[in-house]
Structure 1
Amino acid sequence: MTSFNDTMTSLLQNKEVIAQQKIGVLKAAGPDAKKFLQGQITCDINKLTQTDALYGAICSIKGRIITNFYLVQNNDDVLMLMSADLVEKTLLHLKKYAVFFKAELSDESEHFHLYSRLTTASVESAPETLTEKLPAITNDNGIKLTVSQYPITVQWLLTDSSNKIEEQNQELAALEILSARPVINLEQSETILPQWLNMQRTGGISFTKGCYTGQEIVARMQYRGKSKKQLALFQSEIPMETNQDILDKEGKNVGQVIKAAALSNGYLAQAIINTDPSEIDGFLIDNQTINHLSLPYSIDSAN
């Protein structure tokens, strides 16, 4: 397995990356907002506070992810930060259930900007698992959410649409892929189980909170372990693109790229691999070798 840390550290040395992201904002408001969402999302909304954000998903009855997101609390409102092209679909899905609660749902995307801020790692080594609670700070400038602290520090800065932040070193924004906490898009909606994105190891699934839509399938996958599919990271000097197939040296399809981005010296990608990467002797795209990178957390043991 290739270590990318030295190269990455060199790229970020004494630099701060700030890049605007195409993230949508769905707001849930009203006295029953949290109670309503608790029956729809994989994470435990009772742990959401002004200072603790969450990572989670909304699933179909078949356990497939409709959307996944970061949750932040903005005064009494809950804000779901997700791929911009999934806000409309998610609203339509949730409104079918919201009629039974004193909760109001709305697309607030036009009222916010979302920026990623990347700096060098704030911790020295990879944690065993990523915590459910993510540090969040609210002030006059907006909400700052710490998404990752290793192998780089990734923060999301949510600001009012009237408050723009100057972007810098955007050419390094691809490094955010290394946080290995994907947010899917509309094309990928209802095609992926949460465990295929390692959400059981990244704080995105609570196995103690009780029922939610798709919970039975997600729990069965966790405790019966019928699928070895998991998220993996890759680096390459050749182009890698979303939906590209990944093959082993015998030409067998072993996975597919779900997100890719270019750096000045190559490409980074997140992919869903069909089995434990350690069982595969070499990965190829278009008959060219690509490098498998270490995840910033372990997925060897169950929660």
Structure 2
Amino acid sequence: MTHTASTLMPFFGLIRVSGEDRASFLHNQLSNDINHLPAGQACLATYNTAKGRVIANIVLLNRGEDIILIAAADLCEILQKKLQIYIMRSKVKLECMAEWGAAVSVPTSTTAPTIPAQPQYVLSTTQTNQIWQITLPDNSTIQIGKINQLPPLNTETAKAWQAHEINSGNPWISATTTETCVAQMLNQQLIGAVHFKKGCYPGQEIIARAQYRGQVKRGLVLIETTSALSTGATITDSNNEEVGLIVNQVQQGTITLALAVIKHSAAEIQLQYHNHPIDIKKCFFTTAITKNI
């Protein structure tokens, strides 16, 4: 699959996890099966509170000698501090990779992006000249390397990547939306970020209960409006009652595209933001999914 030229994406930051206990430590903290992530491969995961709220969604790359965590840059310090608390006697070292960054690209295909039919627990990777490339489930890519070896920021390409992620139903949690949603509200169970047979981790009981007892009543929608939106802002109904929040947004000309988490019951009513109408273009949850999670 061919992709657009890459652009530096300042949204992302990196944390290096090293030490002989790195895999087992992360396995016990994150939502995916890190113990069985092969060297040279990548996966998705979430780091959650004890109440199952997503602190950050993460791309993990197992480089063999270490594991790299890729998450929102404004959450990296928070992630590092929270993980540091649980190291105790484990032989693990956490380091912020300030000289490293991430670049992104999107497929040139005009086919509308979709959520994969089956969860993708291992992501394909390539390595060229110290640059690692990871292909995400929606076929966009993330490349990581030293910032001076990555392409410069191209605003239009960055916006195209944001729009691709939004259209794909692939949300990215940042400091303004941290701890607002459980994993299923963000479709993390559908894209392979949650492994339900791996054992305990923070929030596991809540996330498992939500999966099997139908206790999640909110989900992702693709929305469109002519009004400017703010990440983390509240969406209301016509009575100004809260029904959801903005997770990601990007401006495209006079239109703003966004991913929002809303109440399932609000999927067929008129939504608004500061009295400006919002149109739902696509629901990423269905009646079947709603019943099962």
Structure 2: how far apart are the matches of 1:255 and 1:79?
32
Checking the alignment, whether the CA contact within 8 Å between 1:17 and 1:119 is kept in structure 2 is no
- Say which is worse superposed, 118-127 or 64-73, in terms of deviation: 118-127
Task: Tell me which residue corresponds to 1:201.
Answer: 190
1:97 aligns with 2:86: yes
SS of structure 2 residue aligned to 1:57: strand
Percent identity over paired residues: 25
SS of structure 2 residue aligned to 1:185: coil
- 1:158 pairs with one of 130, 144, 152: 144
Task: Tell me which residue corresponds to 1:145.
Answer: 134
Task: Tell me which residue corresponds to 2:99.
Answer: 111
TM-score normalised according to structure 2 size? 0.86
SS of structure 2 residue aligned to 1:188: coil
Structure 2: how far apart are the matches of 1:38 and 1:174?
29
Task: Tell me which residue corresponds to 2:271.
Answer: 283
Taking a change above 3 Å as real, the CA distance of residues 276 and 154 of structure 1, as seen in their structure-2 partners, is farther
How many residues align structurally? 285
Taking a change above 3 Å as real, the CA distance of residues 46 and 261 of structure 1, as seen in their structure-2 partners, is same
Structure 2: how far apart are the matches of 1:255 and 1:274?
6
Gaps of 5+ in 1: 1-13
Render the CA deviation track for 1:170-229: whole Å, top value 9, x for unaligned: 353431322322221223323321122121212111100011122111111211222211
Structure 2: how far apart are the matches of 1:287 and 1:244?
13
Task: Tell me which residue corresponds to 1:19.
Answer: 7
Structure 2: how far apart are the matches of 1:98 and 1:70?
20
Gaps of 5+ in 2: none
Q: What is the Cα deviation at residue 141 of structure 1?
A: 4.4
Residue type of the alignment partner of 1:219: A
Q: What is the Cα deviation at residue 273 of structure 1?
A: 0.5
Taking a change above 3 Å as real, the CA distance of residues 20 and 28 of structure 1, as seen in their structure-2 partners, is same
Structure 2: how far apart are the matches of 1:76 and 1:299?
44
1:65 aligns with 2:45: no
Taking a change above 3 Å as real, the CA distance of residues 234 and 29 of structure 1, as seen in their structure-2 partners, is same
Taking a change above 3 Å as real, the CA distance of residues 46 and 296 of structure 1, as seen in their structure-2 partners, is farther
Q: What is the Cα deviation at residue 142 of structure 1?
A: 0.8
**C-alpha RMSD of the superposition:** 2.6
Q: What is the Cα deviation at residue 250 of structure 1?
A: 4.9
Structure 1: how far apart are the matches of 2:149 and 2:99?
10
Taking a change above 3 Å as real, the CA distance of residues 35 and 230 of structure 1, as seen in their structure-2 partners, is same
SS of structure 2 residue aligned to 1:162: helix
Checking the alignment, whether the CA contact within 8 Å between 1:63 and 1:213 is kept in structure 2 is yes
